[in-house]
Amino acid sequence: MTPFGQKMRSLRDAKGVTQKQMADALGVSGAYLSALEHGNRGRPGSGMIMQICDYFGLIWDDSEELKRLARLSHPRVTVDTAGMSPRATELANELADCIGSLDEQTLQWILDEIRAHKGSALTVRHVPHAQ
């Protein structure tokens, strides 16, 4: 399941509707909605995301959160490290090799570290001092 699928399922459960009911209301097949929820389909398009937001009555921050989760929910990611440092290529390959065996706590720690770095990279670029 993707982060988008997990959020959509929780919204659906909170509203008390089945996949079939939601699919009918959105004009898509139940199979498509199930595949989207379980991460067996790629990210939904922006039109589908807006339909889902409308269906659940999501506005402002809630709508933006669903869009963000959709961006982060492609189930088959390709990382192109061409032109990057050898360490970047090593990291991408190590992560690809072991991601399936990492527990939730470790995955959260990695996400927190990356997000903390992204936040600090927007304000201050740290360059190690040469010794």
Of the candidates 37, 38, 39, the one whose C-alpha atom is nearest the C-alpha of residue 26 is: 37
Q: Kindly give the confidence (pLDDT) of every residue in the chain, 131 residues in length, as a single tens digit, with 9 standing for 90 and above.
A: 888 999 999 999 999 999 999 999 999 999 999 998 888 887 888 899 999 999 999 999 999 999 989 888 887 788 899 999 999 999 999 998 898 899 999 999 999 999 898 876 544 444 444 44
Q: Would you say residue 80 lies in a domain?
A: no
pLDDT at 124: 43
Q: Would you say residue 32 lies in a domain?
A: yes
Evaluate if pTM is beyond 0.85.
no
Number of folded domains that form the chain: 2
Q: Print the domain residue range for 15.
A: 3-71
- Which residue type is seen at 55? Y
Q: Would you say residue 81 lies in a domain?
A: no
